[in-house]
A = this chain, B = another copy of it.
Amino acid sequence: MQRLYWDEYTYAEIEGIIKKQPLVILPVGSVEAHGHHLPLNTDMLQPLWLAEEIAKRINALILPPIHYGWTQGLSSFPGTISISFDSLRGFVKDILSEVAKHEIRKIMVLSGHASTNHMAALRLACEDVLKEYKDLKIMLLSDYYIAYQYRGKLVPEDDSHAGIIETSRIMAIRPELVKKNYKFKKNHAGKYTVQVDYKEMVPYATFSNPEGASKELGEKLNNMILEELLKIIKENFGD
């Protein structure tokens, strides 16, 4: 059986693998409330599925995932664990820096969580390392950058956190973790006002109605995102 993960190899094996210049994927998740119907690891399951499918298809290797991310707005919901901006940035920077030191030159940081601050922490980490290693190339994205391109097409324009896309995708990946009894309510928040706790805005930690989600849609979306990602990877890093 193919080993997909960086850390399943001995250091001597990885030395040989590095010579073939694989794409190295760092999956980043978030432990955060996703309504009454989705598990806390929702944002980890999705990039992990993608990373594994990619690693099965091309010359790529997956780093041990970072399960935790910045998700302060949901931090008052039970079970949510938000990492501070600086710790996340530092932790990711250290990983990328070590990987670059070992002569890897193609990295993709793939985050299931897409909140702006979270992504900024990841981007700053990437930038810190890129300044040191001039010939390094890093691709940084959330799979939701791609998924949300299907809004207004396959799903409503306002589909969001714990909505139809996300629910469908988890139904396709880990159906046994999805609960039936979702709850949804959304309150008005002032435009451009900064919120440090989303509890009042989304009392059930669901930002859009998941009604209409299905396993089939999830599989379709997962595959569309996978294909798009593979295409972009090829454009960026070559074959």
Contacts and interface: CB of A to CB of B under 8 A. Distances in A.
Contacts of A187: none
Interface in A61-118: 63-68, 72, 75, 77-88, 90-91, 93-95, 98-99, 101-102, 116-117
Interface stretch (A52-60, A124-132, A152-160, A210-218): A124-132
Contacts of A101: 75
A138 interface: yes
Contacts of A77: 11
Given A33-B11, A79-B6, A194 B90 contact: no
A157 to B, nearest CB: 15
A72 B127 contact: yes
Nearest to A103: B78
A12 B36 contact: yes
Given A15-B79, A67-B65, A235-B190, A7 B36 contact: no
A145 B169 CA distance: 31
B10 A37 contact: yes
A120 interface: yes
A68 B5 CA distance: 14
Contacts of A236: 190-193
A140 interface: yes
Interface of A: 5-15, 18, 29, 31, 33-41, 44, 63-68, 72, 75, 77-88, 90-91, 93-95, 98-99, 101-102, 116-117, 119-120, 123-124, 126-127, 130-131, 137-141, 145, 177, 179, 190-194, 196, 205, 232, 235-236
Given A10-B33, A41-B64, 19 more contacts: A5-B41, A6-B31, A6-B79, A7-B31, A7-B39, A7-B44, A9-B39, A11-B79, A15-B79, A68-B95, A88-B91, A90-B90, A116-B123, A117-B124, A127-B194, A137-B193, A139-B190, A139-B192, A193-B236
